[in-house]
Amino acid sequence: LAKTTQPISMDSYEGQEVNITCSHNNIATNDYITWYQQFPSQGPRFIIQGYKTKVTNEVASLFIPADRKSSTLSLPRVSLSDTAVYYCLGRLTGGYNKLIFGAGTRLAVHP
């Protein structure tokens, strides 16, 4: 996965769908794509993980195109409590467990 690139910040309103895209051009064949959420003064929390196509859970959906060079986290109908920083994870080259966080996308949901 190597380094990842995502937008620094996004704004949305309650009830809207939010899509956050992460670029990971150097993804390895066996790498999964993982997203985390972090609230202020808390540790990150796992949201969703996928390998290809689409994955959906009770919190979000993850869309991964065929080339796997990017992924899009989709949050349906956001609420004020979804205001947080969202991270796409990467991996340092040559490291089995060298999981690294991107800079993160700061999502602000407004009333």
Partner 1 sequence: TAGITQAPTSQILAAGRSMTLRCTQDMRHNAMYWYRQDLGLGLRLIHYSNTAGTTGKGEVPDGYSVSRANTDDFPLTLASAVPSQTSVYFCASSVGSNTEAFFGQGTRLTVV
> Does residue 98 interact with partner 1 by CB under 8 A?
yes
One-letter identity of residue 64: I
Binding mask 30-69 for partner 1 (x = CB under 8 A): xxx-x-x----xxxxxx--x--------------------
| CA end-to-end distance (rounded Å), the chain | 36
**Which C-beta is closer to partner 1: that of 60 or that of 87?**
87
d(CA 52, CA 47): 16
| 86 lines the binding site for partner 1 (CB under 8 A) | no
Tokens of 36: 């985390």
User: How far apart are alpha carbons 25 and 32 in whole angstroms?
Assistant: 13
| From candidates 22, 84, 87, 109, binder to partner 1 by CB under 8 A | 87
Cα(77)–Cα(58) distance, integer angstroms: 12
Site residues (CB under 8 A) for partner 1? 30-32, 34, 36, 41-46, 49, 85, 87, 91-92, 95-104
